[in-house]
Amino acid sequence: MGKKKKVILPPDLPVIGDDEIQVSDEDLEFIGRNREYAGFLTRLDTKSIDRHVTRVADHKEDELESLYEKRNRKASLLRLKEEEDKLHVDPVDALPVKTLDGKLEYRTADKLKSGDRTSENKSKDDEEDAGGLKLTKPEKRQKLKKSRKEAKKLAKEQEKENIGEEEKGNIGEGKLHTEVLAKVEEDLSSEELFRKKKIRLAEIGLQLLENPEENIKALKELLQICDDEDHNIVKLGLMSLLAVFKDIIPGYRIRLPTEKETEMTVSKAVRQQRFYESTLLRSYKEYLTKLIALEKQPSVHQVAVRCLCSLLDAVSHFNFRQSVLVSVVKNISSLDDTIRKLCCEAIRSLFLNEGKHGGEATLEAVRLIADQVKFHQCQLHPDSIDVFLSLMFDEDIGKSEAVEEEVRPKKKRNWRAQDGLKEVQTSDRKKNKQEIMTKTREEVSADFKAVSFAPDSRERKRMQSETLSAVFETYFRILKHSMDPSTSRSHPLLAPSLNGLGKFSHFIDLDFMGDLLRCLKKLAGHSNHNVSSTGTCLSVSERLQCCIVAFRVMRNNLDALNVDLQDFFIHLYNLLLEYRPDRDHGEVLAEALKTMLWEGKQHDMQRAAAFIKRLATFSLSHGSAEAMAALVTLKHLLQKNSKCRNLLENDAGGGSLAGLVSKYQPDATDPNLSGALASVLWELSLLMKHYNPSISTMATSISTMASMDPAHSQVFLSTASPLEAFTDSSLEQELLKTTGKPTPSSYKRRREIGNDFVIMDPYKMGNENVVDEDEVRRKLEDHFVVHKGIAENERLRRELNYTLSSISLFEDYKREKRHKKKGKR
């Protein structure tokens, strides 16, 4: 039996008789003076006091406990009934009141005083109260929304029924007021909810970062938040999960235990580790699935791609890498510049940081890009192929391993022979022990190799060979597609593929060299004149790149190839006239001059003279950067071919060799047949007066080479290549553009003569006139554009006449054929 509760009764009052009560005169006098304060004694309810006293007094002492419990129970029932009669305000809509004991109490209101509700809502509330059901918060919100919708419907019906303009205006004002209030309430509630969700995201993230082993279950809640209807919350959830996964993902791949391993008895620490790894892997897989699904939604597309790129860069060694790679490569040619740059940077980082994944991810990425190029038929953004330039290969990747293969079997045979001798000498017990140890070592080495990020040299060479094969397969597919007449004329991947072939040309197999050079020769000859026959239109820069790649391939395999590159010299000779500064890339032209003319060891005299004359003409018709690159190449050719310096002589009939060679033909397409040795470099006299001081100085130094000893002749910028000269001139030109036209005061110099200073102004020295470089440049550009436009118009006019004549002949043929059919009839 339970213990009986101890009841503490009030102390007994002393019993005083009426005879013992004495009232003094002072008491009577005090009551007489303060009669207004004693009026409450007349208003006391003596009946209720007597009833209470008699109810307790008539019972025994043992029954007092049950009597007090019954009275307390009755009071609590009355209190509950009063609370039910009141309407509890939702905590979302009311501020709480904190009592002295620390409890929170919310406001309540009497149901009878809520006069804004309709009779229908009152009847529904009465039914719910009668049933004893208490609505939850979501049900209350849904009920509030329903009442608002009904109010809107009633307002619309009233607006339709009322015809008067005044009544319509009143109804419209009431409707607008209701809608504004509803919208304000909805905005306030959504902002508060958004703030709470952000705080919850921060709390979960901090818990996971502080102790991921104990709070790993919180990943499920984070993933659930990412399913929210608010896109801002979804973005915050995705970025929070990204930060958490980047921090807690281990530096190894997780292998889940097999069924046999799960049946084994393990320690508590092992069980906790297995639970942690399985939960992490399952949550990470769900996160990737969510990212791939949200990638299709435009509102969160950029955030999802950013998360995938960050994961590929940070945890490329972890599980489900293939899924991340597929998504990133799919967006590598996106029309959105931000997304495309993110994906390209992630792929480049993957190629440069092979220590994280051992090279396997590089091979997978290259194969995926190759499949992407094949699927889209080479119609991708050039950045998707430019990432191949970040690849790094070992120089001995193509070397044979025949020596290793010969040595390896010998070692194996010697080991087997020694093992046989030991087996004869040892007992069965030692033999079994040795077999167990050997098998254990093999299993350990296999497991170590499976989890190691640093593969052996043979595995590394194999992966690099497969990667290089996939890269060259992509490049050759692009070249083949560019030569196909049935394809479109746009070849966005041709330029980056040519750059890649030029960089990795020393890795190309000799069996493909002949086919590659023939392909490059054909592409270098594809110009605007033969578009109709080939179906391919390449720019001057792309054709120059074909020439550059051919020379690099030839130079890297000089001992194994014996190919005549005369056709590429012819293409370069003609492309110098087709170059346009506003359309083509000057860096490519400077690189072609450097690779084909400046770095060459020997040159034919006729060809060298033709290029010298063509470069001098080229320098007159283009800007300072192109002219400087051409003059540097021209001076280099004159220094290497001393016989060509006869072009610097000013004889009336040409150079000193004018009578020994044919007449100069400026329109010749073959440099060997141009007869340039019979000409004179009269262009230098104009270049010596060039507005750019660097160009004029260079032209002056070239013109004085005829009188110099070849052994002591020095070249201006002799150590600088055409590409470096072009870059320096372009940088100088940009600096002049940014600084603007200088003021005359900035050119003033002071010269000290004794104790006096004389101010010298170059604008007033001598009779020299100051030339506005921008004005001269503009006039020269306009002049040469007009000159070239005239030549282009003449060519187009010839083609038009030829086309019109062909059409007229075809019409005559059809007319004659029609007459013959009529005659037969």
pLDDT in tens, 533-557: 444 578 888 899 999 988 888 877 6
- 10-19 long-range contacts (CB < 8 A, ≥24 apart) are none
**Each residue's pLDDT tens digit, 573-609:** 999 989 988 888 889 999 999 988 888 766 688 888 8
| pLDDT value, residue 602 | 60
CA distance linking residue 621 with residue 625, whole number of Å: 12
More confident residue, 668 or 339: 339
CB-neighbour burial class of residue 627 (10 A; exposed 0-12, middle 13-18, buried 19+): buried
The stretch 342-351 carries a mean pLDDT of: 92
The stretch 346-362 carries a mean pLDDT of: 87
**451 near 253, Cβ under 8 Å?**
yes
| pLDDT value, residue 306 | 93
Q: Which region among 3-17, 377-391, 747-761 has the lowest average model confidence (pLDDT)?
A: 747-761
More confident residue, 156 or 723: 723
For 89, half-sphere exposure in the C-beta direction (CA atoms, 13 angstrom radius) is 14
| pLDDT value, residue 750 | 37
**Each residue's pLDDT tens digit, 704-726:** 886 665 554 444 435 678 888 88
| pLDDT value, residue 631 | 92
**For the CA atoms of 353, 354, 355, 359, what is the dihedral angle to 10 degrees?**
170
Cα–Cα–Cα angle for 45, 47, 53, rounded to 5 degrees: 105
| pLDDT value, residue 511 | 76
**Each residue's pLDDT tens digit, 361-388:** 999 999 999 999 999 888 899 999 999 9
The alpha carbon of 103 is separated from its chain's Cα centroid by a whole number of angstroms, namely 53
CA distance linking residue 602 with residue 241, whole number of Å: 64
Residue 179: pLDDT band with limits 50, 70, 90:
low
Return the CA Rg of the chain: 48
More confident residue, 669 or 564: 669
**543 near 575, Cβ under 8 Å?**
yes
Q: Which residues contact 528 (CB under 8 A, 6 or more apart)?
A: 537
More confident residue, 645 or 744: 645
Q: Is the pLDDT of residue 346 over 90?
A: yes
Residue 629: pLDDT band with limits 50, 70, 90:
very high
CA distances to 17, 62, 71 from 54, rounded to whole Å, are: 19, 16, 15
φ/ψ of 654, rounded to 5, equals 115, -155
The stretch 124-142 carries a mean pLDDT of: 55
CA distance linking residue 402 with residue 407, whole number of Å: 9
| pLDDT value, residue 803 | 86
**287 near 223, Cβ under 8 Å?**
yes
Residue 763: pLDDT band with limits 50, 70, 90:
very low
CA distance linking residue 447 with residue 358, whole number of Å: 16
CA distance linking residue 562 with residue 795, whole number of Å: 38
**Each residue's pLDDT tens digit, 199-252:** 888 899 898 888 888 888 888 888 988 888 888 889 999 999 999 999 999 888
- 637-642 long-range contacts (CB < 8 A, ≥24 apart) are 637/597, 637/603, 637/608, 637/611, 637/612, 638/612, 638/702, 638/705, 639/705, 639/710, 639/713, 639/715, 639/718, 640/603, 640/608, 641/603, 641/605, 641/608, 641/609, 642/710
| pLDDT value, residue 723 | 86
Which tokens go with 504? Answer: 């990795």
More confident residue, 515 or 602: 515
Q: What is the mean pLDDT of the chain?
A: 75
Percent of residues, the chain, with pLDDT higher than 70 = 68
Q: Name the DSSP class of 509.
A: -
Domain boundaries, the chain: 25-84, 189-258+267-384, 409-455, 606-739
Instruction: Give 88's strand partners.
Output: 108
**Each residue's pLDDT tens digit, 467-481:** 999 999 999 999 888
More confident residue, 9 or 259: 259
φ/ψ of 766, rounded to 5, equals 65, -150
CA distance linking residue 13 with residue 17, whole number of Å: 12
Q: Which region among 313-327, 429-443, 466-480, 790-804 has the lowest average model confidence (pLDDT)?
A: 429-443
pTM above 0.75, yes or no: no
Which tokens go with 400? Answer: 């044979």
Percent of residues, the chain, with pLDDT higher than 90 = 17
| pLDDT value, residue 819 | 83
Residue 632: pLDDT band with limits 50, 70, 90:
very high
**Each residue's pLDDT tens digit, 650-666:** 654 444 454 455 677 87
Q: Tell me the residue ranges of DSSP E strands in 416-574.
A: none
More confident residue, 364 or 42: 364
- Choose the most confident range, by mean pLDDT, from 37-46, 51-60, 352-361, 402-411: 352-361
**594 near 721, Cβ under 8 Å?**
yes
Per the document, the length of the chain is: 825
Q: Is the pLDDT of residue 21 over 70?
A: no
**366 near 471, Cβ under 8 Å?**
yes
SS3 assignment, position 758: strand
More confident residue, 30 or 87: 30
Residue 119: pLDDT band with limits 50, 70, 90:
very low
Q: Which residues contact 506 (CB under 8 A, 6 or more apart)?
A: 556, 557
| pLDDT value, residue 302 | 92
CA distance linking residue 686 with residue 390, whole number of Å: 45
